[in-house]
Amino acid sequence: MTQLFTNCRLVSPGVDLTGAAILIKDDKIQQVFTAGDTLPAADKITDLGGKMAVPGFIDVHCHGKSGMDFCDATNEAMTVLAKDKLAEGVTSYLPTTLTLPEDQLAAALQTAADYVASGAKGVKVPGVHLEGPFINPKCLGAQNPDYVVAPDMEMVKRLNAIFPVKKVSYAVEMEGGARFASDLISMGITPSCVHSAATYAQFLAAYDHGMRNLSHFCNQMTALHHRDIGLVGAGFANKDVSIEFICDKLHICPDMIRLTFAVKGCEGIQLITDAMRAAGLPDGRSSLGGLPVIVKNGEARLESNGALAGSTLQLNKALKNVYEVTALPLKDLIRCTSFNQAQALNLPLLGKIEHGYFADITILDADFNVKEVYVNGECRFSA
């Protein structure tokens, strides 16, 4: 089957075309046309009315939404998450775990395996993101201290046998943490550092073993200091280190957003939500990893101590925030919503609208509201 999208503003890494058209054949992008080109015939033609067509978003760090958490370990939770992520323009995501016992993590991964095997028509789920349990107990944030353990490759292997693990976020200063990075890479898993009190030297030891990623940059990691630049300094000092950024203007203030984009450039940043189960819901009571949470004015905080407990951010809003805060061109910022994630996770043919790439396309209006979402050329969401 062939489809032709006409009359769109096509925004893809390095590209911003008004009056463009996109030809799709089956699940792949066949050709892009500029304004004035002669357009081919197609089985289906859709006039996008000048709206933006961008590569489908990839959220590599998301715990929950719509009252569900991946670690609920129910098929209902997995199905709801995979469907409702579409509404924010996401076409692929990594369900993200919490610091919990291995049996609970295994149960959650089994729901991801069941979802993929069912052929359900939500977002793509290429794998999961383990955030913990291999973290520093002094840098818990909203993670549960009862289940923290040292880096354990055998546990990762057991979990990976249930469903692919694509990323592991952990504290590099924990025993065996440097070597853990190269062990993960040998399995095709992206190592990332967070919930960590690492010095810059400890980061560099992991860097020498292939560490090139920092999870929710600035949050629960060693700050920039003039005597030890820590993990924030590591993200700034090493151009090839990719950072995840929660751009809700709460976890990261606008001045820090501007500074980080100025230092890293759009090629070094991955926008994430780090969303928890209250995302997409009104303010009220919620929970994260069994810990009570209060959501007020969209801010999710632990009831016990007021610590931030993930976010209620949605990815289209994150893109709108950075566009408004930085005033950078969309053709540059759009790298941060999918292409950089695909590169960091070795996911081929994702993150661009060009010949040969999967037809994972999100349609946005001028205010970044999601109007339609296509996965492999199939419309799976329409507002």
Residues in the chain: 383
- As beta bridge partners, residue 52 has 9, 364
CB within 8 A of 382, min separation 6: which ones? 371, 372, 373
Residue 324 Cα to chain centre, angstroms = 20
CB within 8 A of 154, min separation 6: which ones? none
- As beta bridge partners, residue 129 has 96, 167
Is 114 part of the annotated catalytic residue set? no
> Which one of the listed residues 69, 84, 274, 360 is annotated catalytic?
274
- As beta bridge partners, residue 284 has 295
Instruction: Locate 309 and state its tokens.
Output: 């407990």
For 367, counting Cβ atoms within 10 Å of its Cβ (0-12 exposed, 13-18 middle, 19+ buried), the class is exposed
DSSP H stretches of helix in 238-307: 254-264
User: How far is residue 320's CA from residue 329's CA, in Å, rounded to a whole number?
Assistant: 12
User: How far is residue 116's CA from residue 124's CA, in Å, rounded to a whole number?
Assistant: 8
Would you list the DSSP string of 106-127? Answer: HHHHHHHHHHHHHT-SS-B---
Closest Cα partner for 190 from 161, 211, 219? 211
Which residues are annotated as catalytic? 274
